[in-house]
Chains A and B, each alone.
Chain A
Amino acid sequence: MNKLMTMRDAVAQFVPDGSSVVMGTALESLIPFSAGHEIIRQHKRDLTLVGPISDMLFDQLIGAGCVTKIIAAWVGNVSAGLAHNYRRACEQGIPHRIEVIDHSNFTISLALLAGGLGAPYIPTYSLLGSDLLKTNPTFKETASPFDGKTTLLVPALNPDVTILHVQRSDEEGNAHCWGNLGISEEAALASQRIIIVAEEIVPREIIVSDPNRVIAPSFKVCAVVHEPGGAHPSSVQGYYNRDHEFYHEYHRATRTLEGMGVWVNEWVMGVKNRAEYFQKLGEERWRNLQLKNHRNAAPVDYGY
């Protein structure tokens, strides 16, 4: 089935108000910024954002008023510092209060792994003694029935939708992703549905030529969006590098609430789609992020 659609249609159909949405699953790379910006443009509300570290995407959605709950290990701006909108929401209730369920990177990955396994929970020795046990009421500390050792039970998470930015996909959502995977597989398997955002749409033959590189089962994919550059300012291995300065510009621009309003109007509300975003970014800036050299993997033989 051909699942290709525009980002506007994918978000309108598959990210309803009140959804739980996983984004930024590869951590600092492959962040689906274009999907996040479309969510802001469509004024989605009451979202629960799920992720490990979100870099600055979660901060943008919080500042735009789309979010009521965060289930994550870290919300900030990795190379530039604190997240101003996250701070305003938690400290001053601006634009409104949000609920924070604290995780670590390991426990959020275990929660989604359990979800993907169809298991109720996974035990760990991490976080014992920490105050995350107080600010995540879903955790349970218990003695292991096997050896009596103290363990922390991390309950399964089954979010509504995971949005994955990938290098390439076919029209059905059979998608190839490479580089470090973070919690992409766990999140995709745990979610009810998956939106694939791809740099390139390729024929099915390309995908089945290398099934080890497929990120998730396509029968869970509800939409495939062809969005070259959709992860900017984050990087996509083999396609473009990280725009470090963009993170600093955002950090400086959003220090005040007024500054955040200006930034969102300029980079999100003021552009209709990703094509207009790139017009605004400018050709030279985009050219400077392109690969300086290629490192092709050796081909492998799947013959029999």
Chain B
Amino acid sequence: MEYSPQELMVAAAAREIHDGEVVFTGMRLPLIAFALAKNLHAPNAIGLFECGLMRDTPSPELLYTMGDPPNITGALWATRMVNVMGLLQQGCVDMGFIGGAELDRFGNLNTSYLGEPKSPSTKLPGSGGAADIASLSKRLVVIMAHEKRRLVEHVSYITSSGYGTGGDWRKRVGLLRGGPSAAITTLCVLRFDAETGEAFLRSYHPGQSVESVRAETGWDLRIASDACETLPPTEQELAIIHRYDPQGFWTH
């Protein structure tokens, strides 16, 4: 069965959504992951979108952005951003997805500046809602391209906090909860050690290996003792993804 790397990532992302959870799924591949999870194992999941929307059904059409008209049609709630972000700050949100340009060994993300902020070599778009989701949700799942220049020992700028310098850093800086639970990359799935906050390789995607993942990672990546191959998307998962993104805008 053939599938694209993005389709595998959508399937892996969907599996991070548990039934009955309240999740932030407002960008790119996670928009499709929400639709997939709702159709399969998480029919009672609730989707929150920081633009001010809540849904308990996937949007009827593919979304290019969370604010597209089909996402508003049939929404359970159309409201102000502060209301949705307020729920997040209260601790009502189980999980949120965010993307990243740079990720480091403790799950910190940079989407703001490469190089010195006053004269950056690359100006990235900034936080959007990502820093809030990383600060305030109970779990964070990162979706990103896996390249050596992106998975770095230390990010040059922390837009969205992971586990900082590790250990009890989040608690020390005043964050109430949360932290990354997974990073789904184009090559693998990383998880984070509950004590130290350090990333480790949980599974490598079909066609990859421990070595190929380590070769594209900018630090000495730890490997789970039971590291294995990532489950590929099933026929059923692919059928739903194709139905939702027939042109493959996000998934090809």
Chain B residues at the A interface, C-beta cutoff of 8 Å: 49-53, 64-69, 72-75, 78-82, 85, 88-89, 112-113, 117, 119-132, 134-136, 157-161, 164, 169-170, 173-176
Contact = CB atoms under 8 A, between A and B. Distances in A.
Contacts of B130: 104
Nearest to B82: A109
B183 to A, nearest CB: 18
A82 B132 contact: no
B85 A105 contact: yes
Interface of A: 26-29, 52-53, 55, 72-76, 78-79, 82-83, 86-87, 89-91, 102-107, 109-110, 113, 124-132, 134-135, 149-151, 178-186, 235, 237, 241-242, 244, 295
B112 A102 contact: yes
Contacts of B176: 125
Contacts of A90: 120, 123
Nearest to A83: B125
Max chain B Cβ within 10 angstroms of own Cβ: one of A86, A128, A134: A128
A147 to B, nearest CB: 11
A147 B192 CA distance: 31
User: Which secondary structure dominates chain B's binding surface?
Assistant: loop
B173 A73 contact: no
B69 A128 contact: no
B124 A82 contact: yes
B82 A150 contact: no
A241 to B, nearest CB: 6
B131 A126 contact: yes
B175 A128 contact: yes
Given A73-B126, A126-B89, A28 B51 contact: yes
A235 B136 CA distance: 30
B67 A180 contact: yes
Given A76-B125, A91-B122, A124-B89, A181 B117 contact: no
Contact of B65 (A74, A78, A109, A179): A78
Given A27-B65, A104-B132, A182-B81, 9 more contacts: A27-B50, A79-B64, A86-B123, A105-B50, A106-B136, A129-B173, A131-B112, A179-B67, A180-B78
Max chain A Cβ within 10 angstroms of own Cβ: one of B79, B81, B113: B81
Contacts of A82: 124-125
B72 A132 contact: no
Contacts of A126: 85, 89, 131-132, 135-136
Contacts of B157: 131, 135
Contacts of B132: 104-107, 126-127
A107 B129 CA distance: 9
Max chain B Cβ within 10 angstroms of own Cβ: one of A27, A52, A53, A110: A27
A87 B124 CA distance: 7
Contact of A130 (B51, B72, B89, B161): B161
Contact of A105 (B81, B113, B119): B81
Ranked 6 nearest A-B pairs via Cβ: A150-B174, A28-B67, A76-B125, A129-B173, A180-B52, A90-B123
A29 B175 contact: no
9 contacts: A73-B129, A86-B123, A89-B123, A106-B88, A106-B129, A180-B79, A186-B82, A242-B64, A244-B64
B142 to A, nearest CB: 15
Contact of A75 (B75, B89, B113, B125): B125
B161 A128 contact: yes
Contacts of A91: 119-123
Nearest to A125: B176
A28 B135 contact: no
Given A26-B51, A131-B112, A132-B159, A72 B126 contact: yes
